Amino acid sequence: MKTCFPKFNWLSILCIISVLSYQMVFSQGNQFNYDYSQTLVMKLFLSAPDNQGGTNVYCDLDNTLDLIKQADNLTLNVPKIIYLVGWQYKGHDDLYPAFFEVNPALKRPVDQDARESLLWLINEAKKYHTAVSLHINMTDAYDNSPLWKEYIDNDMISKNTDGSLMVIGNYNGRKAYQINYRNEWENGYAQMRIDKLLALLPPLRESGTIHIDAWIARENKGEYETNVLEAECQKKVCIYWRSRGIDVTSEWVMDYMTGMVPFYWHFNNRTQSDYLKIPATICTGAHMNPDLKKSDFGLEFLFGTSMYGENIFPNSRNKIPEEKWDSLFSREFYLNFVQYYYLNRLKRLRVEGEGMGRITYFSDNVKVSLSDSTVFENDHQFRRGNTLCFPSLWRKDNSLVSYSEKGSDLLFFLPENWKSALKAEVFMITKGGLIKKNEIEIRNNQIKLELLAGQPVLIIPVKSRI
């Protein structure tokens, strides 16, 4: 029987030391390029192979900037990261493990090639408080990839017990095979892929973040290699990205990456204890996948949840028309992200109660109740059900944002930083920008306004007392 043990060499020892040191440093909470707990992180789907040798384009790079501008207006300039899905070759999940060419069909007419268009987009998006980066895959390999022969010749595909290549899915009509992380790392191919991508698109270093899709460690049964060893090699790859100035985010939460991966797309396997133990500055996430019915979805409200974004942008794939996407986007942003942003600043203290009766207590005397969907800071009520009024803290102008899913008359007691204001300006928040609605009087430290169903508003203090 063949037995496979970890190959210990100086590189392996240095990587183990690096993992430990990185986890110690990251535990301080300030070593990532972004505070992901205070950043709106989304994906945007561009293209996919049509399985006939061509590509289906759902959003080219010119239109992508238009959506970024509109999203910036709808979010009142909150810091954003957008990962582009299907930017390479003929689109999403095409030709992995290679990712060294921008899909030609995405280019702008004025540019020489699609790479030039992508470089333009990354630069232009910064004007709209948005870092543009890429959605890639470092797990899948396809037999039509230009790297396939090299991965076979160098034993970089994991195997089943009978020695056959491990198939982990079927996408775009092709089998996806599991890359063996250990052999890929020790052969230098993981490093090569990272460096070649950064050489292709140098501004990614300035974006400072990358999203690795479906990054899963699996047992290599054909080589008697555990998924624990594969996970150790994932850590090495993560550290290598960081040595190049890039944060790694991923799809599913990995406990062994705590302190190394700050943001995950699906947060389903987080427990109440995890939320209390690990602050949002160290590990946070977009949402819980609704398909996994056994998840504790109450944690999303109790601790705050973000939004996916990708499933809301207008295109034929989502079956969402241009004239409707902004209302869907606003609903997700204001009912989810605004509370998430607010709560993530606070220290998580404890949870009392069980099931739907749970209440989460935070610093600054903030409490969140699941049974009646309320959020309070001292006696100030920020939310009840799907009607809310929260400080828009990222604007740094003492403004408030308010939203009601079905419409409501809002009576809101103002926070301390409004004590010198006599009036408030109210603006409707739209994808085209702010539209002034009216001015309202402040009486008894309160404002009263009528909220239209699904229409977010910005409220700004004016006419300060001298």
The matching CATH number, chosen from 3.40.50.720, 2.60.40.1180, 1.20.120.400, 3.90.1280.10, for 387-466 is 2.60.40.1180
3-state secondary structure of 344: helix
**Please, are residues 226 and 212 in contact by the beta-carbon 8 Å criterion?**
no
Identify any residues that bridge with 220 across adjacent strands, giving them in sequence order.
225
Region for 208 from its dihedrals, namely left if φ exceeds 0, alpha if ψ lies in -120 to 50, beta otherwise: left
Give the tokens for residue 194: 């990272």
Q: How far is Cα 10 from Cα 6, in angstroms, rounded to an integer?
A: 13
Q: What is the number of other CB atoms lying within 10 angstroms of the CB of residue 357?
A: 11
**pLDDT truncated to tens, each residue of the chain (466 aa)?**
333 333 334 334 434 444 444 444 444 445 899 999 999 999 999 999 999 999 999 999 999 999 999 999 999 999 999 999 999 999 999 999 999 999 999 999 999 999 999 999 999 999 999 999 999 999 999 999 999 999 999 999 999 999 999 999 999 999 999 999 999 999 999 999 999 999 999 999 999 999 999 999 999 999 999 999 999 999 999 999 999 999 999 999 999 999 999 999 999 989 999 999 999 999 999 999 999 999 999 999 999 999 999 999 999 999 999 999 999 999 999 999 999 999 999 999 999 999 999 999 999 999 999 999 999 999 999 999 999 999 999 999 999 999 999 999 999 999 989 988 999 999 999 999 999 999 999 999 999 999 999 999 999 999 755 4
Output the furthest CA–CA distance in the chain (Å, rounded): 86
- Check residue 31 and give its pLDDT: 86
Q: Is the peptide bond before 202 cis (omega within 30 degrees of 0)?
A: no
Please state the pTM of the whole predicted model: 0.92
**Please, are residues 259 and 11 in contact by the beta-carbon 8 Å criterion?**
no
Q: How far is Cα 85 from Cα 134, in angstroms, rounded to an integer?
A: 7
Closest CA to 421 of 459, 462, 389: 462
- Please tell me what DSSP assigns to residue 79: -
Give the tokens for residue 10: 């100086």
Give residue 257's identity as a one-letter amino acid code.
Answer: M
Q: How far is Cα 304 from Cα 345, in angstroms, rounded to an integer?
A: 11
Helix or strand (DSSP H, E) at 464? strand 457-464
Query: What are the structural domain ranges in the chain?
Result: 10-268, 387-466
Alpha-carbon distance values, 108 to 35, 111, 132, 448 (Å)? 32, 6, 17, 48
E-only strand ranges, 365-445: 366-369, 374-377, 380-384, 387-391, 400-404, 408-413, 421-430, 433-441
Instruction: Tally the residues of the chain.
Output: 466
**Please, are residues 335 and 304 in contact by the beta-carbon 8 Å criterion?**
no
Alpha-carbon distance values, 292 to 96, 288, 295 (Å)? 27, 8, 6
Identify any residues that bridge with 212 across adjacent strands, giving them in sequence order.
136, 250
Q: How far is Cα 40 from Cα 77, in angstroms, rounded to an integer?
A: 10
**Please, are residues 447 and 459 in contact by the beta-carbon 8 Å criterion?**
yes
Alpha helices by DSSP H, 335-388: 338-344
Q: What is the dihedral of CA 316, 320, 325, 327, to 10 degrees?
A: 180
Q: Is the peptide bond before 49 cis (omega within 30 degrees of 0)?
A: no
> CATH topology of 10-268 equal to that of 387-466?
no
Q: Does domain 10-268 have CATH number 3.10.129.10?
A: no
Closest CA to 265 of 245, 244, 241, 248: 248
Alpha-carbon distance values, 245 to 23, 31, 97, 205, 207 (Å)? 16, 11, 22, 6, 9
- Check residue 391 and give its pLDDT: 97
Give the tokens for residue 163: 């020695």
DSSP per residue, 172-185: TTEEEEEB-HHHHH
Helix or strand (DSSP H, E) at 196? helix 189-200
Give the tokens for residue 364: 């600054």
- Please tell me what DSSP assigns to residue 335: I
Phi, psi of 461 (to 5 degrees): -70, 140
